[in-house]
Amino acid sequence: MTFIKSIGQAVLGLATLAIVSGANAQAEPLPYPNKVVTLVTHSSPGGGSDVFLREMTKYLGRYIDATFIVENVQGGSGGKAMARVASGPADGSVFYATTPTYIYTSLMSKPQSTYKDMDPLVNIFADSEVIYTRTDGPYKSLKDVIEHAKKERGRWGAANPASLERQAAEQLKRAAGVTPAIVTHEGGGDMMLNVLNGTLDIGIGEIQELRSQLDAGKITLLATFNPERITEKPDVPTVKELGYDVSLVKFRGLAGPKGVPDATKAVWDEAIKNLLADPEYKKAYTAEVLVPQLIGEKDYPAFINNFATSTEEFLKSTGAIK
């Protein structure tokens, strides 16, 4: 069956190639030392990072003169994908799609290779993390939810046990001085049900996962954990504005093996800047409510390290790690 899978990958590669080469290049793509660049993700085909990479590779060929292939290395919550990239050639031919998951896995489960064994390259997006409730429920604002949690036992949902959403919930709980039950789930769909049927007061999740119910008017956004308001949803306040000093960034970027040449890194900085300005791509990612957040190769390592430090503190405080 691996044979069939490799045929599948070959066809997929050809299809990507066709799309990439068929598109009209607006600017001359930047020269690149490798013909083929493999972008590795721990997510399964159709999962968050997979969709992000595949969508991006459709346009990336306009700005970097190479062919991009997405490789799914599942298993070990990202542990295997990290090992694959960390031990790969540092010539710019292989990169890993970063998300907070790779920090969590590195901290919690001592995999063979951790985030420390890779060089952060560039950050591209931040997903919007939001607090939502059911539209016909009793809560009209985050204040209502906090007030309720002061009087009775509040019930707040987070998508996964070791996740940025859980961290956000715990931090908000502390900042507001309330003690609701924080109920973790196995994925956002699972939690959505419990918000819709009234088991939970609020859920904390990524806006992408909520779009269908949001469009149908079944749920309402109460606040966002983003540092700034979401451009497409200007009426939704940030948690910080509401007086609780919690904000977080669910980043999406790339990291490579240690020692990628500076010249190659510079190509990416330039290309991602142009890519984010591409009108067609902009239309696609705006529809996905992805907020462009370009952090170049100079600042990205510090950003990742800060994130890892605060996450480690949080995990220690909840007893998840020692």
Partner 1 sequence: MTTIMDIIRLLTETPLIFVSIAGLTWGILGGALPGISASITMALVLPFTYTMDPAQAIALLACVYIGAEYGGSIPAILIRTPGTNSSAATVIDGYELNRQGRAGEALGISLMSGVIGSLFGLAMLIMLTEPLSWLALAFTPASYFGLGILGLSVIASMSGGSLIKGLAAATVGLMIATVGTDPISGVTRFTFDIPDLLGGVEPVLVMVGLFALTELMSQSGSTNTTQLNQKIKIKLPSLAVMNRLKRSQFIGCVLGLFEGLTPGGGGSIAAFMSYNEAKRWSKTPHLFGKGSEEGVAAPEAANNTVASTALIPLLSFGIPSSNSTAVLLGGLLMHGLIPGPRLFEQSAQVIDSIYVGSFIAIIAQIGVGIIILPACIWLVNRPRPYRAGFIFALILSGIFTLNNSLFDLGIALALGLVGFLMRIAGFPVLPMILGVVLGHMVESSYRRSLVLSGGDHMIFLQDPIAVALLSIALIFVVFSLSREVRDARKTRIEEARS
**Residues at the contact surface with partner 1, assessed by CB under 8 A:** 1-2, 4-5, 8-9, 11-12, 14-15, 17-18, 21-22, 44-47, 51, 54, 73-77, 79-80, 105, 108-112, 153, 155, 160-163, 166, 181-186, 189-190, 192-194, 196-197, 199, 211-213, 215-216, 218, 318-320
The sign of the dihedral angle between the CA atoms of 171, 174, 114, 90 is positive
**In the 8-state DSSP scheme, what is residue 172?**
H
The sign of the dihedral angle between the CA atoms of 157, 161, 165, 171 is positive
Dist CA 53 CA 320 (whole Å): 31
Q: Whose structure tokens read 């939502």?
A: 132
For partner 1, which is the closer residue by CB, 50 or 297?
Answer: 50
3-state helix, strand, coil in the chain (%, to 5): 45, 20, 35
Minimum CB separation of residue 240 from partner 1 in Å reads: 26
For residue 126 the two structure tokens come to 């931040």
Minimum CB separation of residue 99 from partner 1 in Å reads: 16
How would you classify the pairing of strands 118-127 and 250-257?
antiparallel
For partner 1, which is the closer residue by CB, 2 or 24?
Answer: 2
Dist CA 132 CA 221 (whole Å): 4
Minimum CB separation of residue 315 from partner 1 in Å reads: 8
For partner 1, which is the closer residue by CB, 105 or 226?
Answer: 105
Minimum CB separation of residue 184 from partner 1 in Å reads: 6
Minimum CB separation of residue 270 from partner 1 in Å reads: 27
For partner 1, which is the closer residue by CB, 65 or 91?
Answer: 65
Dist CA 1 CA 280 (whole Å): 37
Q: Whose structure tokens read 């985030």?
A: 115
Minimum CB separation of residue 242 from partner 1 in Å reads: 25
For partner 1, which is the closer residue by CB, 54 or 233?
Answer: 54
Contact 52, 125 (CB under 8 A): yes
CA angle 144, 190, 40 (to 5 degrees): 115
For partner 1, which is the closer residue by CB, 141 or 213?
Answer: 213
Minimum CB separation of residue 212 from partner 1 in Å reads: 3
For partner 1, which is the closer residue by CB, 89 or 189?
Answer: 189
Q: Which helix (H) or strand (E) holds 165?
A: helix 164-176
For residue 141 the two structure tokens come to 């604002």
Minimum CB separation of residue 11 from partner 1 in Å reads: 6
For partner 1, which is the closer residue by CB, 186 or 313?
Answer: 186
For partner 1, which is the closer residue by CB, 41 or 264?
Answer: 41
Minimum CB separation of residue 291 from partner 1 in Å reads: 19
Sheet with 219-224: strands ordered across:
181-184, 155-158, 202-206, 129-134, 219-224
Residues 20-48 as b or e (16 or more Cβ within 10 Å = b): beeeeeeeebeebebeebbbbbbbeeeeb
Helix axes 300-318, 164-176, angle to 10 degrees: 70
